[in-house]
Amino acid sequence: MQNTITKNYTVIKQNSFKHSVDSSLLNYVELRLNKIFSDEVNSSDSIFLKVKQSAIHKMALFLSGSIKRSCSIGIAGETASGKSTIAYDIINTIQAFSEEYCIKNAITRINTDDYYFDRSDMVKAAGSFAEFAKHYDLDVPEALELELMKKHIKSLLFGNTVYLPEYDMSGTAIRRDNVKLAVPSKIIISEGLFTLTDKVVDAFDFKIYVDVSSDIQKERFYKRAAERDLGDSADEVYTNASNKAKTHIHPTAQSADIILSGEADRAAYRKFINKILCLVQEVHFKELVVS
């Protein structure tokens, strides 16, 4: 029996999850999810490169109500892989659904980039962010306070309100702590370069890696570099980011439950999410739909 829905990756054994469940509802939800995922994986322009069967089973546990707590989603990938865009599409689609069905606190976003250490003094000393970036490595997990991020995610999952930091990406390297209010939600989602690295990965129920070809990734990177005024340091930053990704980011794909194509059409992501939400509507809000 195959335990992974995949095109190009090795089969991975299913994990087991023990809970007190309504087995008939759980079985129905899992059957429907298997069909939804299988249809997408086997389509000619699939958004998926790999899906672990264990992830579908765990999703069924959450969607059926067998697991009653909030869930957390972590999305990782190289710079310019498309992970932020995918995260926003997930968030916006779920928020639209939650508004339609009057669901409060449906989803909260945790931005991994906000956990970069404040290095504003070093930027000032260097004279510019471009000069600072030549001598300070932002492309390693140690550049971020990932332990704090994990603490915040866990606290939200336990139902606590948290004040999050905010990092200025405009070139000042300023981080302001305790400035963004985050309330407990049904889904906690986070994306960033190092979201699936060792210090934070076990905070997530669902681990997603976004893969993209080097040509597309490079094109996106240089477009962003121009917007951020990296100047003549862009080449050095790109080379360093690519080299460090081989050590710190690529290996995290091995722990991912799902590997997404960062080159798929955005409408395809939204269409797939809506299929999942249609199942949620059927299971939990059927009585609200007028036939």
User: Does 6 score more than 90 pLDDT?
Assistant: no
User: If residue 208 lies in a helix (H) or strand (E), which one and from where to where?
Assistant: strand 206-211
pLDDT tens digit sequence for 95-145? 999 999 999 999 999 999 999 999 999 999 999 988 898 888 888 999 999
pLDDT at 236: 83
Nearby residues of 21 by Cβ (< 8 Å), 6 or more positions away: 61, 64, 66
**Highest-confidence segment of 5-14, 160-169, 216-225:** 160-169
User: What's CA 237's distance to the chain center, in Å?
Assistant: 23
Query: What's the CA gap between 191 and 196, in Å, rounded?
Result: 9
User: Does 157 score more than 80 pLDDT?
Assistant: yes
Residue with the bigger pLDDT between 22 and 282: it is: 282
Domain boundaries, the chain: 21-68+257-291, 70-254
The domain defined by 70-254 folds into Rossmann fold (3.40.50)
- Give the dihedral of Cα atoms 267, 72, 110, 219; nearest 10 deg: -40
Query: What's the CA gap between 155 and 162, in Å, rounded?
Result: 7
Query: What's the CA gap between 170 and 130, in Å, rounded?
Result: 11
Q: Binning pLDDT at 50, 70 and 90, where does residue 288 land?
A: low
pLDDT at 3: 54
| Per-residue CA distances from 71 to 147, 186, 212, 275 (Å) | 19, 6, 26, 19
Model's pTM, two decimal places?
Answer: 0.89
β-pairing verdict for 187-192 and 175-182: unpaired
Query: What's the CA gap between 89 and 62, in Å, rounded?
Result: 21
